[in-house]
A and B are shown apart, each in its own frame.
Chain A
Amino acid sequence: DIVLTQSPDSLAVSLGERATINCKSSQSVLYRSNNKNYLAWYQQKPGQPPKLLIYWASTREAGVPDRFSGSGSGTDFTLTISSLQAEDVAVYYCQQYYRSPQTFGQGTKVELK
C-alpha cells in the first residue's frame, strides 16, 4: 500500500496568517501519461463528512475559496491556507488515488492560536 505521511500532526495559526500542511507519499503518485498527480486534499469539521478541497494535487474544487492552494509532484505535496479564517479550523487529510487501495494521510489538525 502507498503510505501517506502528513506533517505536522497539528498546528496553531493566528487569524490571517498562513498555514502549511505537508503530505509525503511512499511512492510517486504521478501518472506520466497525462502528467497528473493523483492526490487530493480534504477538510473535515467536527460532526461533518470530509469535503473535497483540491484534486490532481493543485486543482481547486468548484466553490472552494482561493486562499486554499495545493502544490507538489511525485511524492511531496503541500496544502497552503494563505490567510487563515476562523471557519478553516478543521482536520485536513490528503488521499492518493494512484494505486489501490486508496489511502489517506493520518490527518493534520488546524487550530487558532
Chain B
Amino acid sequence: QLQLQESGSGLVKPSQTLSLTCAVSGGSISSGDSSWNWIRQPPGKGLEWIGYIYHSGTTYYNPSLKSRVTMSVDKSKNQFSLKLSSVIAADTAIYYCARARFDGYYFYGTDVWGQGTTVTVSS
C-alpha cells in the first residue's frame, strides 16, 4: 500500500531555508488521480495546508506562504520536496507530507500521510 516518509533538517536557524523530502513507496508519484501535499502543525495547534504539487510539476501554494515556498518533484526517485525560505520561529512545526485524491473536479480527501517530521527554528 502507498506509504510516505519525510526526511530533512530538524533544526534550522532563523532566516535560513528549511528543506524536506517525502519519499513515496508502494505506488507511483506519477499517478494522475493524486496531488502531493505538504501540511504543517505548530506545537499544540491546528493544521495548516502549505501547498501541493502534481507529478507534472504544477504547483499551488497557500498565498500566506507563497513568497517563501518552493515545491519540486523527482519522478526518477519517486519523491517530492519542500523548501521554505527565510524561516522564523513561527515556522516551527510538525511537517507532514500527504497524498490527496482527485475525482476529476476537485480533490476530496487526504488519505495517506507521512508520520511527520518536527522542524524547529532556533539559533
Contacts and interface: CB of A to CB of B under 8 A. Distances in A.
Interface of A: 31, 33-34, 36, 38, 40, 42, 48-52, 55-56, 61, 93, 95, 97-98, 100-107
Contacts, number: 65
A49 B46 contact: no
The secondary structure that dominates the A interface is loop
Given A36-B108, A61-B109, A49 B114 contact: yes
A9 B83 CA distance: 33
B113 A97 contact: no
B105 A34 contact: yes
Contacts of A56: 108-109
Residue picked from A36, A50, A105, most chain B C-beta under 10 Å: A50
A49 B96 contact: yes
Interface in B32-76: 46-49, 51, 60, 62-64
A109 to B, nearest CB: 11
A24 B110 CA distance: 20
